[in-house]
């Protein structure tokens, strides 16, 4: 890559290929792969990521909201798209754009059936979501006795899959809980299939589920963070390659005397003669204020420089007193070596959050095969 001249998020599609192949290698042949591309494909770019994965013959996509699915359809994505958290106000759009809703409550199920009937649909694919312990969205086990008779009353929809979501698949200390979720889901599956009289696909695992719970791969798995290069463990991080690198450049260097302050509210006071670098990335770009006051850091010429004072909307200032650097030098916030989870953990958060926080103001640049 040429040297960066402004703040950019580089997206390496070769790393995406690697991660996809690695995660697929964890599956028995025939198990389908759903790529989760919600939230701009975890802050990268949902269109470029989905196009690349579609070329690699991924089986399915999922987004959180209808709007995200519409963007993919507009960009020419033709694979099926599951909308994980649809709202009834968008049901007509869902049908118009051939998106497939997750139905997670009686209200949502009844409303979707009504809209498909009004629009003269038959066997419109839907996905029934069960709550097995996350207690976020989903029907309860006992709801099967209501759902199946309700579905049998109409020919407007047909259940393409039934699914559930693990609450703690990355945390092996919670293995008992996770196995209980899997067991509970297994009994839902049996009951559902017997009552409905056909065999919808079944899926449950997210990335850490793929890695840690081979007994729960069922017919399909749903991966997000793994595709983007994070395995939620030191071991799995070694097998995956972060696709996104956030880079910037030093705009200006200041030499300051002891007692001088840096930034808004004078939140940093110099301890002596010090050198600071100003970098064109701020909280409007996703580096939130929690990274300020020496929590977060960047790398300049491979050395760690802490953020001093408060993060501004468009800038941060870092301490480069002991770093040989000059205006125009490259700054790495995260990349394949200095992983995003490192800076995330400095502020008590996780890779998912810093990645999805990188705002649309930051230019995306792609590295193709």
Ligand X SMILES: *Cc1c(COP(=O)(O)O)cnc(C)c1O
Q: The tokens 């800076």 sit on which residue?
A: 343
Phi (first) and psi of residue 191, to 5 degrees:
-60, -45
What is the nearest approach in angstroms of ligand X to the Cβ of residue 224? 3
| Residues facing 332 on adjacent strands | 247, 299
Nearer to ligand X, 329 or 353 (CB): 353
264 in active site: yes
Nearer to ligand X, 212 or 248 (CB): 212
- Rounded Cα gap, residues 37 and 312, in angstroms: 30
Nearer to ligand X, 26 or 304 (CB): 26
228 in active site: no
Q: Catalytic one among 92, 152, 258, 264?
A: 264
What is the nearest approach in angstroms of ligand X to the Cβ of residue 134? 9
Nearer to ligand X, 137 or 347 (CB): 137
Binding site for ligand X (CB under 6 A): 36, 84, 165, 206-207, 222-226
Q: Catalytic one among 38, 160, 241, 247?
A: 38
What is the nearest approach in angstroms of ligand X to the Cβ of residue 246? 19
What is the nearest approach in angstroms of ligand X to the Cβ of residue 223? 5
- Rounded Cα gap, residues 117 and 155, in angstroms: 8
Q: Which of 319, 203, 197 is nearest to 263 (CA)?
A: 319
How is residue 24 written in tokens?
């697929």
How is residue 58 written in tokens?
């991924």
Minimal CB distance residue for ligand X: 224
Nearer to ligand X, 67 or 254 (CB): 67
Q: Which of 339, 123, 80 is nearest to 222 (CA)?
A: 80
Sign of the Cα pseudo-torsion (165, 215, 34, 364, in order): positive
- Rounded Cα gap, residues 313 and 336, in angstroms: 26
What is the nearest approach in angstroms of ligand X to the Cβ of residue 163? 7
Q: What is the CA radius of gyration of the chain?
A: 24
User: Which residues are catalytically annotated?
Assistant: 38, 264
């Amino acid at each position: 890559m040429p040297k960066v001249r402004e703040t950019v998020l580089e997206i390496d599609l070769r790393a995406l290929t690697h991660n996809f192949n690695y995660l697929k290698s964890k599956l028995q042949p025939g198990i389908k792969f759903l790529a989760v591309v919600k939230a701009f494909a975890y802050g990268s770019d949902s269109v470029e990521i989905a196009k690349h994965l579609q070329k690699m013959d991924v089986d399915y996509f999922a987004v959180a909201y209808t709007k995200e699915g519409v963007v993919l359809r507009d960009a020419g994505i033709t694979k099926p798209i599951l909308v994980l958290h649809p709202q009834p106000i968008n049901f007509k759009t869902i049908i118009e754009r051939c998106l497939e809703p997750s139905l997670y409550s009686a209200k949502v199920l009844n409303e979707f059936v009504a809209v498909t009937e009004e629009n003269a649909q038959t066997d419109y694919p839907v996905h029934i979501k069960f709550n097995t312990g996350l207690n976020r969205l989903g029907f309860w086990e006992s709801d099967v006795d209501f759902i199946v008779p309700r579905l049998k009353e109409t020919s407007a929809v047909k259940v393409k899959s039934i699914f559930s979501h693990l609450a703690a698949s990355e945390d092996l200390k919670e293995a008992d809980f996770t196995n209980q979720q899997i067991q509970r889901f297994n009994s839902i599956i049996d009951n559902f299939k017997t009552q409905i009289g056909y065999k919808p696909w079944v899926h449950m695992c997210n990335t850490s589920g793929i890695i840690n719970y081979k007994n729960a791969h069922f017919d399909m798995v749903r991966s997000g963070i793994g595709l983007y290069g994070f395995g939620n463990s030191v071991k799995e991080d070694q097998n995956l390659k972060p696709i996104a690198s956030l880079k910037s450049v030093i705009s200006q260097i200041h030499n300051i005397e002891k007692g001088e302050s840096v930034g808004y509210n004078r939140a940093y006071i110099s301890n002596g003669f010090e050198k600071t670098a100003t970098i064109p990335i701020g909280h409007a770009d996703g580096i939130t204020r929690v990274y300020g006051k020496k929590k977060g850091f960047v790398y300049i010429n491979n050395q760690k420089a802490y953020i001093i004072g408060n993060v501004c909307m468009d800038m941060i200032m870092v301490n480069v007193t002991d770093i040989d650097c000059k205006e125009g030098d490259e700054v790495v916030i995260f990349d394949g070596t200095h992983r995003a989870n490192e800076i995330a953990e400095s502020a008590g958060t996780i890779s998912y959050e810093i990645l999805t926080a990188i705002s649309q103001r930051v230019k995306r640049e792609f590295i193709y095969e």
